[in-house]
Amino acid sequence: MPLSPVDDIINPAYAGVSGVGAFNVVQIEHAEAIVAGAESAGLPVILQISENTAGYHGSLAPIGLASLALARTAQVPVAVHLDHAESAALVRQAVELGFASVMFDASKLPYEENVAATREITDYCHRANVLVEAELGEVGGKDGAHAPGVRTDPDEAAAFVAATAVDSLAVAVGSSHAMLTRDAVLDFGLIARLRAAVGVPLVLHGSSGVGDADLAEAVAAGMTKVNVSTHLNKTFTRTVREYLGAHPDTVDPRKYLGPARAAVAEEVARLLRVLASAPAQMLPGPRSTSST
């Protein structure tokens, strides 16, 4: 199947009030597992590569090209997305490689500088028919805008989206990045108000810290794209530990990476079904997110 544009995956979910899973790739086994899980569930998926992961591999190209190749041969729609990029140069590299969307994070800047930098990226990406996700709020480390007690204001979010022309917006509603437990407390009323205010799909970062029932409720309240990373890394690492514990003399990495890949694929399929089966509510319809 040809590489899927992100809006072909996001827009139907936004209009139909269902959730789309966006899972972070760290190494090729993650990408293979995510695609396999999506194929098992018969549902679309988004492969995400973060700026940190690009740095780990020395550049975006090795893991980016591998993910694009897997997406192009998948049996379900798969898009490839750049996650949490603070570098405009990295955004340009992602566009040149053929990524369908980018998340540009200028949230460390003062509001007006954030708007200006994000708008510049949006103008560049839209000329290449690439969608842009942004995040509103101050991000400190892995916490910041998603830390407890910090929330996105609907009026400010609406003004930010209008000023930057971004295609989706990550919002702070109670989740936090890199959580190891699934006990985050989300503000579902705020999600609904944000959905009504901004007119573009909402993105939930830090979803590893959210349990299944709350993920479904977040989608029903108006969340569309749901990012998961740490939860899958826990599954991957736990499986490797269990295998090596039972087989301490193993030296062939395929022996323990294979089971870890299979475990992640199974969890991806399960999470995609959770997000797709969220009960729909009567919510505002989508604003066109096509690039101009």
Instruction: Walk along the chain (292 residues) and give the pLDDT tens digit of each residue.
Output: 667 888 899 999 988 878 999 999 999 999 999 999 999 999 999 999 999 999 999 999 999 999 999 999 999 999 999 999 999 999 999 999 999 999 999 888 888 999 999 999 999 999 999 999 998 854 333 445 555 557 788 999 999 999 999 999 998 886 555 555 555 667 888 898 999 999 999 999 877 667 788 888 889 999 999 999 888 999 999 999 999 999 999 999 999 999 999 999 999 999 999 999 865 543 444 443 333 3
Q: Which of 83, 167, 187, 214 is catalytic?
A: 83
Based on the residue annotation, tell me whether 83 is a catalytic residue of this protein.
yes
Q: How many angstroms separate the first and last alpha carbons of the chain?
A: 26
Question: Is pTM, for the whole model, over 0.75?
Answer: yes
- Distance in angstroms (rounded) separating the CA atoms of residues 100 and 115: 22
Q: List the domains of the chain with CATH numbers.
A: 6-276 (3.20.20.70)
Among candidate residues 126, 149, 122, the one with its CA nearest the CA of residue 138:
149
